[in-house]
């Protein structure tokens, strides 16, 4: 199962559309998506508008991999559970968020080898091919050292 999450506060129709198109192109029908409030109606994704925190964590734990916005909550959960994650940052220029902080988050965590990231549907397909073949895995302990947790919190607050 592939778990897709965009957070619960804002829609991210661009990402959901890309994932829906990708699923169609590769014939996948095992995608579960937490899409929050959205005008886009996915054709290939099982939609869950809202999940409780335990349900959210359970979906990530069950997933072969996660596709998400570059939100730190999703990223940290995936890393703690050693579930590979591909992130697509929301863009301030498209009104998907207030600024481009997710671009910086995705770039830095990609450089650190903690996530894969994509900026286009083509890049997303490339990264999904990598995680789909087991070619990427990152993990942090759920008892991570304080300096690492503080660095990750700094990204989340930026």
pLDDT in tens, 18-74: 999 999 999 999 999 999 888 899 999 999 878 999 999 999 999 999 999 999 999
Q: Where are the alpha helices (DSSP H) in the chain?
A: 13-26, 53-62, 72-80, 101-111, 121-132, 146-157
Report the percent of the chain where pLDDT is more than 90. Answer: 69
Region 94-119: mean pLDDT is 93
User: Contact at 8 Å (CB) between 37 and 13?
Assistant: no
Q: Which domains does the chain have, with CATH numbers?
A: 2-157 (3.40.50.2000)
């Amino acid at each position: 199962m592939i778990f897709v999450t965009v957070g619960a506060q804002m829609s991210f129709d661009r990402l959901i559309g890309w994932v829906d198109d990708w699923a169609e192109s590769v014939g996948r029908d095992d995608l579960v998506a937490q899409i929050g409030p959205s005008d886009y109606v996915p054709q290939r994704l099982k939609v869950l508008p809202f999940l409780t925190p335990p349900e959210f964590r359970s979906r990530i734990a069950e997933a072969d991999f996660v596709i998400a916005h570059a939100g730190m909550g999703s990223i940290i959960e995936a890393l703690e559970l050693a579930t590979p994650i591909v992130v697509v940052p929301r863009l301030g220029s498209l009104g998907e968020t207030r600024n481009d902080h997710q671009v910086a988050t995705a770039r830095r965590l990609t450089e650190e080898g903690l996530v894969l990231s994509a900026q286009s549907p083509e890049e997303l397909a490339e990264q999904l091919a990598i995680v789909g073949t087991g070619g990427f895995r990152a993990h942090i302990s759920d008892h991570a050292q304080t300096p690492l947790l503080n660095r990750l919190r700094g990204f989340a607050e930026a």
